[in-house]
A and B are shown apart, each in its own frame.
Chain A
Amino acid sequence: MGQTFISSILFATVVAGTPLIIVALGELVTEKSGVLNLGAEGIMSVGAVAAFAVAHHTGSPALGVLAGMAAGMFMSLLFGISALTLMANQVASGLALSIFGVGLSAFIGKPYESVALASVDPIRIPLLHRIPVLGPALFEQQGLVYFSWALIAAVAWFLYRSRAGLVLRAVGESPVSAHSIGYGVVRIRYQAVLFGGAMAGIGGAFLSLFYTPMWVEGMVAGRGWIALSLVVFATWRPMRVLIGAYLFGGCMITQMFVQGSGAKIHIPSQFLSSLPYVATIVVLVLISRNRSTIRLNSPASLGQPFLPDA
């Protein structure tokens, strides 16, 4: 258990937590506007494959990230049309998006399955990255890792310190009131859904460009759903998303290190691999056990369609 070992675990934890942070924050903003988009898994999948394809053809990871974002927005637009314009059930629309997205990504991604992508050099923050143990984890990372931290601050500021954020929360708490004082509920919800889609697309791009620089069918492996659970875990507060995401990241990484270490323990690898999923369930139970926490913190109109002029 040397210093480098701890350092590399921390490093990997931050990497594993990053897509969760980005996706969960996008979903958090969406849910704050009163819309439950269960399609994160599908959006991430399409974002991942779009990012990979573009990065492969252009050689530019930055363009890849943009492509992932655009693909994510396109996917969430489909959800918006179904759930907001046509007022279909949000749960069913989200499920449709997940099924469609996972299938579509497998379809588009087939030609890219055996393609490798050059790994991208991290961005080193001068001096700081030399801090022992913590340095590499915090200051020698991909750009999107820094982006995820900035995003937390930005989302927290937006929701609780800006006027637009206040309006968005009002729409989520009571769309009828917001509508009656002249805010376009559907328009604001569209914006929130598109933001959520963009973030889920970027989260997917992170997976296929930096986390494992390749595309494999099913590589998102439930991270979209874990991100949805994280929003509940965080009781809809941005800062807590960070804690939750790194807890999950740590959980994923620890089991991978145990599997890879060849240590003399007789636990089948499948049991270790199931840990993040089991942990998600445990965490959901712990948080949801207290009904009032959920009721007080979740947006009051979450999941309910809004019918203007009804």
Chain B
Amino acid sequence: MSYLSPLLAVGLMFLSGMILFLLLGKSPMEGFKVFFMNPVKDAYGVAELFLKATPLMLCAVGLSVGFKANVWNIGAEGQLLIGALVGGGLALHFEGSNSPFLLPSMILAGAMGGMAWAAIPAFLRTRFNANEILTSLMLVYVAELMVSWVVHGPWKDPDGFNFPQTKLFSAKATLPILLEGTRVNAALIFALGALVVGWVFMHRSFLGYQMKVAGQAEFAGRYAGFSAKRSVWIGMLAGGAMAGVAGISEVAGPIGQITEHISPGYGFAAMIVAFVGRLNPIGIFFSSLLMALLYMGGEQAQQYLNLPSSISKVFQGMLLFFLLGSDVFIHFRPRLVRRRK
């Protein structure tokens, strides 16, 4: 049943999407085809789907650890950007290095950067009781401004015709391509690995169990002596680390440099991915593919239906709403009863 409600939500999203196309004066079937089928009509499209799903998978699996324990890290977008900055900074600093350690250190630095950014709300929450929802979100704006600063200022490519971007990373500082002829890179392996680690942690470790208890029954957790502060730290740091890896994988992958447009809101979309995937790594795998499809559908709709690409965000938001609504069937057994007068 708990897997049925995401399917119901997806169905409702398809349906209301077609109604939306109708309202916009497009043929619903045509819209559906362009939005949901065109992006994956050939092998290259499917590869792109996995490419776009990778950062979503990474962020979502990290966030799901916190969400299980009711730790609301909604600043993954910022942690992703800082991960990209720290890891990318390493690539720029050791430009021209041939060391085989460069790329692994960049990934590690990305994870550390994301963790450091997530550590701020974790610290403020555990030490000063400050709401992590608001602080982590505020830090997204700060991170965006920091990216804007480095690409306009200190790290701007001197030969880049004044474009706000850094130099391109060298080949040694770029993730290897997995499949010739596509853009799918090694980050997909990290993402799949993260799903496995996430599953083991949440379902097979005592710490993961403690987090789940803390999330489902706060007082029971406290009574059992499970540290609430530790839950906050683990939840925030897991989200930060994975978002950081996602960030560095984007700049050391398909983008190849630091620009102002590292992420089209992956950190926010990943929250939807986590919820639709039932905070479960297997579910997250599928929901991240779906979310990636929504991103690609938006691009297609812009190209072929002359609609703004932000339509994909409308779909993302609708999906989460429908999911939350469908969950009523999980938590309750609604019956139609006549109201007593």
Contact = CB atoms under 8 A, between A and B. Distances in A.
Contact of A103 (B72, B307, B317): B317
Interface string B322-335: 00110110011000
20 contacts: A96-B321, A96-B324, A100-B318, A103-B313, A107-B311, A107-B313, A107-B314, A110-B310, A229-B134, A268-B149, A270-B148, A271-B145, A277-B142, A278-B138, A280-B134, A281-B134, A285-B124, A285-B128, A289-B128, A291-B129
Contacts of B320: 92, 95-96, 99-100
Contacts of A97: 317, 321
A294 B148 contact: no
Contact of B139 (A92, A100, A101, A281): A281
B153 to A, nearest CB: 6
Give chain A's interface secondary structure class: helix
A232 B328 contact: no
Given A92-B324, A294-B129, A222 B272 contact: no
A99 B133 contact: no
Interface string B131-153: 10111011101100110110011
Nearest to A107: B310
Contacts of B271: 95, 99
A101 B317 contact: yes
B288 interface: no
Interface residues of A, number: 46
Contact of B131 (A87, A95, A104, A284): A284
Interface residues of B, number: 44
Interface of A: 38, 42, 78, 81-82, 86-89, 91-93, 95-97, 99-104, 106-107, 110, 217, 221-222, 225, 228-229, 232, 268, 270-271, 273-274, 277-278, 280-281, 284-285, 288-289, 291, 294
Contacts, number: 134
A273 B145 contact: yes
A288 B127 CA distance: 10
Contacts of A101: 317
Contacts of A82: 321, 324-325
Contacts of A288: 128-131
B11 interface: no
B287 interface: no
Contacts of A228: 134
